[in-house]
Chains A and B, each alone.
Chain A
Amino acid sequence: MASRARLVVLGAGLLLLVAVPPLAGALNQPFYVDLLRRVMIFAIAAVSLDLILGYGGMVSFGHAAYLGIGAYAVGVLMHHGIVSGWVQWPLAIAASALVALGIGAVSIRTSGVSFIMITLAFTQMLYYLGISIEEYGGDDGMRLAAKSQFAGLIDLGNPMAFYYLVLAVLGASLWIGHRVVNARFGMVIRAAKSNEARTRAIGFSTDRYKLTAFVIAGAMGGVAGALLVNQTEFLTPEFMHWTRSGEIMFMVILGGMGTLVGPVLGAVVFLLLEDALSAWTVHWQIILGPFLVLVVLFARRGLVGLLPGAGRDA
Chain B
Amino acid sequence: MKATNYLHSSIHRTLKNIRHNWGLYLLLLPSVILLICFSYRPMYGVVIAFKDFKPTLGIMGSSWADPWYKYFLRFFKSFQFKTTITNTLVINLYSLLVNFPLPIIMALMINQMYSRKFKRIFQTITYMPHFISTVVMVGLIMIFLSPGSGFLGNLCNLLGFEAPNLMGKAKAFTSIYVWSDAWQHTGWDSIIYIAALSTVDTNLYEAATIDGASKWQKLRYIDIPMIIPTASILLIMRVGNLMSLGFEKVYLMQNDLNLSASEVIATYVYKIGINSAQYSYSAAINMFNTVINFILLITVNKITKKISENSLW
Q: Are the chains A and B members of one assembly?
A: no
